[in-house]
Amino acid sequence: MSSNAITIPGGRVEGKPWVDTLHEWVATVDHKRLGMLYIVYAIVFLVLGGIEILIIRIQLMHSHNDFVSPQVFNRMFTMHGTTMIFFVAMPVLFGFVNYLVPLMIGARDMAFPRLNAFSFWLSAFGGLLLYFSFLGGSGLYGAGNAPDVGWWAYAPLTARAFSPGHSSDYWTLAVLVSGFGSIGTAINIIATILCLRCPGMKLSRMPLFVWLNLVMAGMVLIVITPLSAGQIMLLIDRYLGGHFFDAQAGGSAVLWMHFFWIFGHPEVYVLIIPCFAFMSEIIPVFSRKPIFGYPVMVAATICIGFVSLSVWAHHMFTVGMNSYANSFFAITTMAVGVPTGIKIFNWIGTMWGGRILFKTPMLFSIAFLFQFLLAGLTGIMLACVPFDWQLSLSYFVVAHFHYVIVGGILFALFGAFYYWYPKMTGRMLSERLGKWHFWLFLIGFHLTFDVMHIPGLLGMPRRIYTYEPGRGWDTLNLIVTIGAFIQAVAILVFVWNLVISYFKGAEAGNDPWDAWTLEWSASSPPLPYNFAKVPVVASRRPLWDLKHPEDPDSQYE
Amino acid sequence: MTAAAITLPEQQPWTLPYRGKVAMACLIIAESAIFTIFVVAYLFYVGKSLTGPTPREVLETPIFFTICLLSSSLTIHFAGKFLEKGKRIAFLSLWSLTILLGGAFLFGTGQEWHRLIYERGLTISTNLFGTTYYSLVGLHAFHVTVGLIMLLIVAIFAFAGRVGTEHTRRVEVLSMYWHFVDAVWVVVFTVVYVLGR
């Protein structure tokens, strides 16, 4: 869009040497480039974490399998969990937030561009540290080459006696470093949203995407930090001979569990709230209606933010807390379902009576609504303490939280990819490949995670590397493994789509979806300074006002 | 479809908060969460050490150094005020006094640790009290050190004549951090020297 561009005399030099391009990317402080770096980095780790889970699934395909040793199996599920949460889900969401928030609020960059770059490289360095443990984790003891303590790293597994060598140190440092990166990004997001909004963009006019990510960033400040504190204590224990989690000196293993889950449970909401944010942008655009219940959506999100801080010990019902604590955490866990239900109601309210366009982003969004509801329902089941006593540490729990993370977070993310890829690259993703990706992934997902509930109910525990025949688990596990491979094929289709569409996709133009938020008024991809003139807004849907001057939203505010 | 075509009907002045202050407030919230976890660990382990020495036996309340640190909050506050009014000498002297008071506090912590380690035989690996005490007080001392380094950098620029009224907002961000470090000491002091004994 020429009218939106500043002409720089003697501007672009064609045919730059690749070293210059590389240097530009490494030294960049531009929020859009950092956003893309986050996303590409997360996709690399998604493939790594995916390979690890395929190894696990091959091992569990039938009883008495010996594809990998028990030691390797432990390393694989530890690395899979740590990778997927800290080095896939967090960075990819931060990538989208980084890319989109300044564009949506009409700013030219984040509040602290250099802090932004610093945070990204901290996270990236954390991921490298984690994977370097495959090479450097043996230390002087020849014991273990990758972390094998589980992603929750319960004490005393992490004590020097049970975890010699350096693999646990790599795990601790990787998580600590990426945590600092997350805190830096969260500070940056909040400062950007509060201080850099364009004229007219009152808090009550911000797109829901921005609102929800403001809440997410606020949560990051208080939930990532307990994990950092716990990791510092663990380092003190391992390196300075401290006794925080050393039961022989009076320390408590349960305290680590508390510190870990004070982080661990709200973390799920840190991951899902940006996905709610994606939904709140995609569903209205593809239903051709404004979002239903904007103020209630904001209130429900803030409510989730608060309530989710007091639910963590539902991960610990089997530890043996007293019945008052059990009741408290059961009630809060069920209560957090209420604002979440309000949100699902509002999204359905948005779709109700709308002219729904079944493009790929919308397909993923509808699947998200359906699956996230089911995931929430098994969550409510597990919030019942006696039920949890029966099924905690079984595959039912594994199926539940993968339903949240894959069926909820990953589906929402795929929707976001299809929705914003045109903005980021200037090219549309192929709808044909997108449909293939969607249906393959949907079938694979349900084959894997619907079926996975059943061995859990039959009593199959988590984290076992193999099992006896004759328990009725074999066929179910085989189906789960087949589903996992179908998902892997779908991911390959997706990555292929990302690559091929970058070169051969249809030209997107500035506003391919006829959307209403400010990012679609910038060119695709946006210029380094985003907006030649800082926009001024008068309503929640500034582009609607622009396209329909005879009936702008602003006259109803 | 130029962005300029979107106009604001009511031309009210558009002011937003200063990004430095917002970011520092966020950092303080995050740091508070870290300190909360360490304080919880301290309180959880009070009286649970299997061996001595106990806090009652070895701790001495550092009243003088506490007064130093707390009064440095006052000096940095007034230093900021003087900078705003352009009174350079008053700013410089109060700023330097803040550094001296903070330095005195750090010296006090060092002295106490030296006494505990060499006279009382309490190290971070002696017992749970040692682990939690050195971690919590050490975490605070680390924050004082970081604060002092930043104060020193400002002092160096100030003595070179490079800090003027236009930097008031930035200096205020730094003094927010320093107030936070002082406030944390009130909590740490209460937990370690009052409740923990």
- For residue A394, the cross-strand partners are A461
Local confidence band at A541 (pLDDT 50, 70, 90 cut-offs)? very high
Residue B53 placed within a domain: no
Structure tokens at A22: 């590389």
- A225 CB neighbours in chain B (<8 A) are 30-31, 33-34, 37
Worst-scoring range by mean pLDDT, A352-356, A396-400, B3-7, B39-43?
B3-7
Q: What ipTM was predicted for this assembly?
A: 0.93
Q: How many domains does one find in chain B?
A: 1
Q: Taking CB atoms and an 8 Å limit, are A536 and B6 in contact across chains?
A: yes
Whole-angstrom Cα distance, residue B69 to residue A534? Answer: 46
Q: Is residue B8 part of a domain?
A: no
Question: Is residue B173 in a domain?
Answer: yes
Angle in degrees, CA A469, A473, A477, rounded to 5: 115
Tell me which residue has tokens 């099924």. Answer: A391
**Which residues on A lie below 8 Å from B41 (Cβ)?**
233, 244, 255
Interface A:B, Cβ pairs < 8 A: 145
A-chain residues within 8 Å CB-CB of B139? 232
Residue A6 lies in a domain: no
Question: Is residue A8 in some structural domain?
Answer: no
A9 pLDDT more than 70: no
Which residues share a beta bridge with A427? Answer: A507
Q: Which residues contact A8 (CB under 8 A, 6 or more apart)?
A: none
A259 to chain B: nearest residue by CA? B37
Q: Looking at chain B, which residue has its C-alpha nearest residue A262?
A: B37
Q: Which residue of A has its CA nearest to B128?
A: A243
Q: How far is CA B172 from CA A188, A525, B24, B149, in A?
A: 19, 39, 10, 16
Question: Is A11 inside any structural domain?
Answer: no
Q: How many domains does chain A have?
A: 1
Task: Over range B164-188, report the average pLDDT.
Answer: 95
A232 to B135: CB separation less than 8 angstroms, yes or no: yes
A481 has a pLDDT exceeding 50: yes
Q: Is A8 on the interface with B (CB under 8 A)?
A: no
pLDDT(A183) > 70: yes
Closest CA to A548 of A523, A514, A524: A514
Structure tokens at B166: 């236009």
Q: For residue B161, tell me if it sits in a domain.
A: yes
Residues of A in contact with B19 (CB under 8 A): 111-112, 191-192, 194-196
Residue B60 lies in a domain: no
Look up the CATH number of the domain holding residue B90: 1.20.120.80
Structural domain includes residue B6: no
pLDDT confidence of residue A554: 85
A107 — contact with chain B (CB < 8 Å)? no
Cα A239 to Cα A214: distance, rounded to the nearest angstrom: 37
The separation between CA A480 and the C-alpha centre of its own chain, rounded to angstroms, equals 23
Residue % of chain A over a pLDDT of 70: 96
Q: What is the pLDDT of residues B74-133, one digit of tens each?
A: 999 999 999 999 999 999 999 999 999 999 999 999 999 999 999 999 999 999 999 999
Q: Has residue B1 been placed in a domain?
A: no
Q: What is the CATH number of the domain that holds A326?
A: 1.20.210.10
For residue B9, pLDDT beyond 60: no
DSSP classification of residue A248: G
Predicted confidence band of residue A13 (pLDDT cuts 50, 70, 90): low
Q: What is the mean pLDDT of residues A210-231?
A: 96
Residue A135 within a domain: yes
A535 touches chain B (CB under 8 A): yes
Instruction: Please tell me the distance in Å from B17's CA to the nearest CA on chain A.
Output: 5
More confident call, A146 vs A436? A436
Nearest CA in chain B to A192: B19
Domain that holds residue B168: 19-45+65-195
Q: Establish if A2 belongs to a structural domain.
A: no
With respect to residue A5, please indicate whether it lies within any of the assigned structural domains: no
Residue A30 has pLDDT above 80, yes or no: yes
Q: Region B158-169: what's the mean pLDDT?
A: 92
Residue B39 lies in a domain: yes
| A394 phi/psi in degrees, rounded to 5 | -115, 175
Tokens 């969607």 sit at which residue? A438
Is the pLDDT confidence value at A1 over 50? no
Q: Is residue A46 part of a domain?
A: yes
Q: What is the reported pLDDT for B83?
A: 95
At CA A399, angle to CA A396 and CA A400, rounded to 5?
A: 85
∠ CA(A286), CA(A288), CA(A290), 5° rounding?
110
